[in-house]
Copies of this chain bind each other. A is one copy, B any other.
Amino acid sequence: MLAKEHAVGVSAARQRLMDVIEERLFGFLDAERARWSSVDERTAVVIDAVTDLIKAGGKRIRPLFCLSGYLAAGGDPDDQSVVPAAVALELLHACALIHDDVMDESELRRGAPTVHVKHAAEHDGRNWRGEPRRFGESVAILAGDLALIYADRIMADAPPVVDDVWGELRSELIIGQFMDVTAAAEFSADPELSCWIAVAKSGRYTIHRPLAVGATIAGRPELAEAFEAYGTALGEAFQLSDDLLDVFGSSTATGKPAGLDFAQHKMTLLLALAMQRDERVRELVSGDVFDAGALRARLVDSGVRADVEKHLDVLVERGCRAIDDVPLEPGWREELISMAHAVVYRDR
């Protein structure tokens, strides 16, 4: 086959499995909803909080990497043993987003009100007892817990060989989130720490581990090493690109408010690098009044933006080189290179 035909075959096989994944995901959630609604219809509220978030969109990046790892490693496209893990990754991500939005006090996610905001408003509108904020956040805490539990229940159908990597992936996610919260509180410019957080949250959780889960189910766990190098470089790039979008992108493109990380005092990798290089940036973010326009201008004028964009290219190149020499199924090296670009250069 020619490269182009491989590319078509590669995405068609993955798309067929993606369709099965969507079906399994919503089939599970609908069955849970039906079952609990028959006990008390109010129970549906917390299940719907999970379902609505997943239905609202999202790029299914983690299931896509998981399937890609599986198929690139030679997994049989007609065998559905990889499906539960890919479904679980999306549910786990729903938990991470719902809890993250509480911690960040975000109001918008995937173009819709976040779970805690929606349910605080509901509480307020009904004149219920207690504090609306507390109620909204309680619903969000429980909806996130439920998504995490559902992820795990679906993993009971995955081959036991992935237990370890699935365990690692989840612990790392939480530890990474915790370090993110800690770095924001400490607010010291520590690019090494910010980079470590980016690798934990994006590199491992989003790219490396999903790929490794897929490859492990396909019976080729030895690919994990190359996928780790690929994921580490791209995770850092993904985070930097995310940070750039937060500062320079629009909320229409991202589905969440622009400038949120700054407003939340997030010590992003971009900010850590910029603060270390440029004393003026430190002053701009430490002031009582936050001037997003001035900060944007400073990042451009000081050359930080241009340098970070150059560094992005280096990271993408490094990530792609990491899978140069590993034996993958035909068409998959090209597909993983193309995914690397799609993940990092989202605004292009």
| A residues at B contact (CB < 8 Å) | 32, 36, 39-40, 42-43, 45-46, 95, 99, 102-103, 105, 123, 126, 128-130, 134-135, 137-139, 141-142, 144-146, 148-150, 152-153, 156, 160, 163, 167, 170-171, 174-175, 177-179, 181-182, 184-187, 193, 196, 264-265
7 closest A-B pairs by CB: A128-B185, A103-B138, A46-B178, A153-B167, A156-B163, A129-B187, A149-B170
Tell me the smallest distance from the CB of A333 to a CB of chain B, in Å: 31
Flag if A179 contacts B42 (CB, 8 Å).
yes
Residue of A45, A144, A150, A182 most packed against chain B (CB within 10 A): A182
Q: How far is the CB of A263 from chain B (nearest CB, A)?
A: 11
Note all chain B residues with C-beta closer than 8 A to A177. Answer: 142
Determine which of B126, B139, B174 lies in contact with A178 in the assembled complex, contact meaning CB atoms within 8 Å: B139
- What's the minimum C-beta distance from A151 to chain B, rounded to whole angstroms? 9
Question: Known contacts A130-B184, A139-B178, A152-B152; can you find 4 more A-B pairs with CB under 8 A?
Answer: A102-B137, A137-B137, A145-B145, A145-B148
Residue of B nearest to A264 (CB): B130
Task: Return the contact of A42 from the options B42, B163, B182 (Cβ within 8 A).
Answer: B182
Q: Which single member of B36, B45, B102, B265 contacts A130 (CB below 8 Å)?
A: B265
Which residues of chain B are within 8 angstroms of A146 by Cβ–Cβ distance? 171, 174-175
CB distance from A165 to the nearest CB of B (A): 11
How often does this chain occur in the complex, in copies? 2
B178 near A130 (CB under 8 angstroms)? no
Q: How far is the CA of A196 from the CA of B39 in the complex (A)?
A: 10
**Chain B positions within 8 Å of A148 at CB level:** 145, 148-149
Q: How far is the CB of A243 from chain B (nearest CB, A)?
A: 18
List 13 A-B residue pairs with CB atoms under 8 Å apart, sorted by A's residue number: A32-B171, A40-B193, A42-B179, A43-B178, A46-B175, A99-B142, A129-B265, A137-B137, A139-B178, A145-B174, A146-B174, A152-B170, A153-B171
Query: What residue of chain B has the Cβ atom nearest to residue A178's Cβ?
Result: B46
- Counting chain B CB atoms within 10 Å of each CB, the highest count among A46, A123, A142, A181 belongs to A142
Is B43 a contact partner of A145 (Cβ separation < 8 A)? no
Question: What B residues does A123 contact at CB under 8 A?
Answer: 185
Partner of A95, one of B39, B126, B145, B175: B145
Of B99, B138, B181, the residue contacting A181 (CB under 8 A) is B138
A145 to chain B, nearest CB (A): 5
Cβ-defined contact, A141 with B103, below 8 A = yes
B167 touches A134 (CB 8 A): no
Bound state CA distance, A286 and B175, in angstroms?
Answer: 43
Q: Are A99 and B141 in contact (CB under 8 A)?
A: yes
Partner of A174, one of B45, B46, B129, B187: B46
Given contacts A40-B196, A171-B153, contact A45 B145 (CB under 8 A): no
Contacts of A264 in B (CB 8 A): 130
Measured between C-beta atoms, what is the minimum distance from A7 to chain B in Å? 37
Closest-CB distance, A104 to chain B (whole angstroms)? 9
Residues of B with C-beta under 8 A to A39: 196
